[in-house]
Every structure is written in structure tokens, then in C-alpha cells.
Amino acid sequence: MQIRPLEDLTKDELIALIQRERERYEAVGAGGVSLMGDAKDAEIARLRETLQFYADGDHFIRHDDSAWDTVSGEPQNLYEDESNTATVEDGTFARAALTQQEQV
């Protein structure tokens, strides 16, 4: 297939090109990944499982609860260790995504 400069295309060719690109974008979405059927269902399940891991707080294991506290002046879903060396989000954003909440 030969690639031609846009200025060499006819009006009908440009319209057809734009339509093909629009259909591709709508089918694929902004993310650029096109999944169909079982592959799409599997990807959704995998992503939901990953979000659930964060939503349940499994990424944030506190060996000493007293060593962590919410961050002053920040949303209550952020925790910082007593030495101020680490800040962790508690999973609120993942829970919101799983429950389709628009605001946290």
C-alpha cells in the first residue's frame, strides 16, 4: 500500500479516511487497545481483580498501626509513616473506580 500525502487525496478519499479513523477510534477507544469477546471479558476481570487488591488495602500492610497516621492537610485516604519517609493511599480511589463513584 502506497502512502500518499493528504493534499493529494480527493475530497471523497479524505471523507472515507476520516470515517475509517473515526470507526477505528470508536471501536478501540482512546487507550488504543482493541479487545473483543472473551479477551475483553478476561481483561476487565483482570483489571477489576487488580483494583480490588488496592480497594481492600492489601497493598498497604501496617506492621505497627501506631506508626501510621493520616497526613495533615491532605485527604483522609493518605497515610504517612511516623518518620515521614513514606505516604500511601489507602485504596479509596480503587474502591471508587469499582463502585463507579465519580468523586472520592
DSSP string for residues in 39-65: HHHHHHHHHHHHHHHHHTTTT---S-G
For residue 52, what pLDDT is reported?
Answer: 92
Residue 22 CA, distance from chain mean position: 22
Whose CA is closest to 94, among 45, 60, 53, 58? 53
Question: Each residue of 39-49: pLDDT tens digit?
Answer: 888 888 888 99
Distance CA 83, CA 12 (A): 66
Q: The pTM is what?
A: 0.54
In terms of pLDDT, which residue wins out, 35 or 102?
35
Q: Are 54 and 88 in contact (CB under 8 A)?
A: no
CA distance 87 to 102: 24
- 69 forms beta bridges with 80
